[in-house]
Structure 1
Amino acid sequence: MAIVLGPNRYGKAETRVVRVTRDGGTHQIKDLNVSVALSGDMERVHLVGDNTAVLPTDSQKNTVFAFAKKYGIGEIEEFALLLARHFADSQPAVAHARVEIEEYGWSRISGGHSFVRSGTEVRTALVHSDGSDGPESVVSGLKDLVVLNSTGSEFHGFAQDEYTTLEPTDDRILATAVTATWRHRGTGADFASSYAEARRCLLEAFAGTHSLSLQQTLYAMGRRVLEERPELCEVRLAMPNKHHFLVDLSPFGMDNDNEVYFAADRPYGLIEGTVLASDAPAAPAAWA
C-alpha cells in the first residue's frame, strides 16, 4: 500500500494589527485580524523535515505589521491582495497564498481621537492568489449582523412526525445573526462601495420580505444582492434562527398577545444556502 502526502498548507493565524493614521488632530483606526496560509512545494518539510522551502510563520506575522506601516490599510480586500501577491511572488516554493481578514469597526465619539466599537458586526474578506500573473479570487462579506423583524413572519404547513410539538404560527418574531459572503467577478471592484451596497441589499431584503420561512428570506436576500450588484456572481448565507418563544402568562391571570417572549440562545435552527447568478464563473476550488 502506497502512502502519499495529501493537500496541505501552513501559515500564521489571527495576527491582530491596529493601524492608526494621524491627520493632524484627527485620527483614523483600522482594526484587523489577519490569517495567512501558504501552499506549494512543501513535500520535503513533511517527509524529511527539510525546512528550505518554509517561510517561518513569524516572518508572515512581521510582514503584516510591516505592510500596515509601509502601505497603510485601506479596504481590507486590497490589503489582503497585497499580502497574498507578495507571498506568492516572493517565495519560489509558494504556489498559492490564502489571506483572510476580519475587520472590527470603530465609530468616532467626539473630537479627533476617541472611538467606540461598532456593535458585534464584523466585516470579512478572503483572498486567494497564485501570484500577480496567476488566478486570483476575492470574496467579501460580514458576520454577526444581528437583525430582527417583530412581525411579518409566519411558519406553518411544515412536515410533522410523532415527535413534532411545534405549533404552526402566522405571526412570529424572526431574528438571526447573518453570516454572508459574496464572490466578486474580478479583483478590480470598488470594494468600499460594493460592500456598503451589498450590505444595504441584505438589510432591505430582510426587512421587506414577508417571510413564510427563514429559507425564503435567505433566498430573497441573496437574490437582491445579485440583482443590484453586477460585479458579484455568488452569495453564500448562514442564518441561525434565533428563536423567540411566547411566554405563558396564564398562571398570573394575564393574556399574551404576541407581546412578551423568551429569547432562547440554543439550540437553534441553522439555515444555509447559496444564491448564484446564472452566468457565474465556476468558483475556485480553493474558495474555503
Structure 2
Amino acid sequence: MVVSIGASNGSNLQVTEFILMGFPGIHSWQHWLSIPLGLLYLLALVANVMILLTIWKETVLHQPMFYFLAVLAVVDIGLSTTIMPRILTILWFNARAISLPECFIQIYAIHTFFGMESGIFVCMALDRYVAICHPLRYSSVITEGFILKATLFMVFRNGLLLVPVPVLASEHIYCSRNEIDHCLCSNLAVTSLACDDRKASSIFQLSLAWILIGSDVGLIILSYALILLAVLKLHSAKATFKALSTCSSHIILILFFYTAILVLSSTHRAKGKVPLIPVLLNVLHNVIPPALNPIVYALRTQEIKVGILKMVRLSEVRK
C-alpha cells in the first residue's frame, strides 16, 4: 500500500493512489476476461463509427431522428472509452495503480456519459412523440436548431449537476486501505474506503443520480403513454403498425438500458455474498449498450441498413 504523511497531522496517513484489484474472487485468471471484453469494446468502436459515417455520407439520413442517433453514437464511444482502456491495461499488464485525481476524473466521466445517454433517450422519445402525435408540426418543432439546443442542454445538465459527485468523493479522508475490489473507479467502491463519515455525501450523491435518471424515465414514460393513446385512436391496423415500428428500436434500447440499471442496483445488495456479480454487471453495463445500440438500429432501421450496405459495397469496389 502506498501512503504519504498527511500535511495536517503527522500521525495521520493519507493514501496517494488507489489500487484497482480487478474482478473479485477470480484474480488468478481474470486476464482471460480481456478477450470477450476487448472484443466487445472493439465492436462498440467499429459499430458506432460505422453509424456515424453512414449518417454523415447518406443524405437521406440527414433527419432529426438520425442526428440524435449520431449523438448517441458519440456518447457511446465516450462511455466505453472511459473505462475499457483502463480495464484492459489491468488485465493485460497488471497496471493496477491509479492516482486519486485520475480516479475521481473517471468517476465524473462515467456518471456524465451515463447521464448523457439517458438524456439522449429522452430527446429521441420526444422526437417520436412529436412525429406521431403532431406530424404536421414536426418539421417546425424538431429542427436542426432544436437538436443542437437539446444536445447542448443534456451536455451541460449532466456536466454541471454531476460535478458534486467526484468533488464530494475527493473531500473524504482516505487514510487506511487503498485497494478497490473493482476494475474501475466506481463511486461507491471508492467512498467505501474513506475513514471519515460518508453517510451524508453518499445519500446526496445517490439521490442526485436517481433524480436525474428518474426524471428521464418519467419523461420517456409520459412520451410513450401519449404515443400509445394517439396510436390507439388510429382506425387502420396498417397505420398503427407503421407508427409503432418507428419506435421499436428506441423502445428496445430503452428497456435494456434501464432494466440493466435496476438489475445492477438490486445485485449490489448481494455484493457481500457474491462480490463478482455487481462488479461484472457494472462493467458490462458500460460496454454492452455502446455495442448493442448501433446493431439494433442497423438491423431494425431500413435506411441505416441500406446506407451501411452501400458503404460496404463501395469499399469492396475500391479494393
More strand by share: 1
Shorter-chain TM-score: what band?
A: under 0.3
TM-score normalised over the length of structure 1: 0.25
Structure of greater relative contact order (alpha carbons < 8 Å, 6+ residues apart): 2
- In terms of fraction of residues, the more helix-rich structure is 2
TM-score by length of 2: 0.23
- Select the structure of larger CA radius of gyration: 1
